[in-house]
Amino acid sequence: MEAILIPISLFIALFGVAYLYLSTRNKERLALIEKGADATIFMKGKRHTAPIWKVLILNLALLLMGIGIGIFIASLLHYNLGVEEEVAFPGTIFLMAGVGLFVGFTMTKNLDKE
């Protein structure tokens, strides 16, 4: 009996969050329209942003390149400098993956400017 309560409560929580989000957004938009705000602020197509597939491919490519470079640097640290394998591999992989994601973030900002 207890096993069924978790999925039901999860569904109720997700439904409640979605309902509150949508109803609040609707009330906010109605209030703006009543005050005479321009309806074009609700149009999402007006922004000039990079397509989402370009952003995903760019960030995924840089993440994978960062992981590869991290593995390469970790092997250099382990075999040439004698750093322990348990320290070298996770540390450099996470560091270089983070660097790759940061570079992807800055490149995505540059795509939005164009």
Q: What does the pLDDT look like over 12-34, one tens digit per residue?
A: 999 999 999 999 988 988 888 88
The contacts of residue 32 (CB under 8 Å, 6+ apart) are 41
Using the Cα atoms of residue 11, residue 17, residue 21 and residue 23 in order, give the sign of their dihedral. positive
**pLDDT of 39:** 66
pLDDT above 70 for 96: yes
**pLDDT of 37:** 76
pLDDT above 80 for 72: yes
